[in-house]
Amino acid sequence: MLTLNSHVFQAEEVFVSEIDGELVMMSTENGAYYNLDPIGTDVWNRIAEPTEVEGLCRALSAEYDADPDIIRRDVLALLDRMAEKGLIGVRPQDVSSAQPA
């Protein structure tokens, strides 16, 4: 399950092309095409490396001077949809920073 503590990253099985500030993506797993608006494109570019969702939301909130709660809600919804389509990978938390039980 995707949470604010999850780390997300671009899936390797996706071809991406930018057209007029929007990304057009094709999943090699299912052959489907997807597109992202400019803000979705910004999210995609920020997850080129594994990125904690909470940190991503903070950065976007500062960048767009937007309400952090709205950013969290919208980013989690976008990332959930992208994960369902196999466009991103999700790790529950960064194992290198996990605390021992």
Pairing of strands 88-91, 14-19: unpaired
- Residue owning tokens 């899936």: 11
Helix (H, G, I), strand (E, B) or coil at 4: coil
The two three-digit tokens of residue 89, written as one number? 């990978």
Domain boundaries, the chain: 7-93
Residue 94 confidence (pLDDT): 56
With bands split at pLDDT 50, 70 and 90, how would you rate the model's confidence at 1? confident
pLDDT tens for 18-66 read 888 789 999 988 899 999 998 999 999 999 999 999 999 999 999 999 9
pLDDT tens for 54-101 read 999 999 999 999 999 999 999 999 999 999 999 999 998 755 555 444
Residue 101 confidence (pLDDT): 43
| Cα-to-chain-centroid distance, residue 24 | 15
Residue 29 confidence (pLDDT): 86
Rg (CA), the chain: 14
Which spans in the chain are helix H? 38-46, 53-64, 68-84
Architecture of the domain spanning 7-93: Alpha-Beta Complex (3.90)
